[in-house]
Amino acid sequence: MTERPSNDNYFMEIAGAIGRRATCMRHNVGCVIIDRTNRIVSSGYNGSPRGLKHCLELGCIRDDKKIPSGEQQEYCRGVHAEQNALIQAEDRDKLAAGTLYCTHTPCLMCLKMILNAGILRIVHGGRYPMTDLAWDLIKESGIKFEEYGGGLSVTEIKEAKAAQ
């Protein structure tokens, strides 16, 4: 008999599967949001806005301009996985006190949207460039911010980031 996965393993596996639908040439990001009873509320992946051509068809503006990840997001056709998951939630009240699972660390703009939605916990699977303001907002808000597989504290993650 196989071992039953923990909720974190289960939902991160789902986020990974969702991310495989991404149309971004740089990152395949998947996100799933669950409510306080561990039911899926919404999901999203990164890609161009609905009905528009994908970067897979057109090429990547950011690659053409040699823009590093996490900078100058105004030069991107894509909508982030977290943004899509928040936008597509049918019942936004269920987002409050929920958990967001994402294959990557949210950017500053996504983090602000997540905080505004009332989500209380973020579980992420990869480090994405984060600003000092993002770290300040995480600390000030008290949101649980956990790297998948470890549940590191904000201080531990910041120290690990500084050591890189």
CB 75 within 8 A of CB 62: yes
Which residue, 65, 20, 24, is CA-closest to 43? 20
Which residue, 10, 22, 154, is CA-closest to 78? 22
C-alpha distances (whole Å) from 26 to each of 9, 18, 22, 55 are 24, 16, 10, 10
Residues belonging to the active site:
82
Amino acid at 127: R
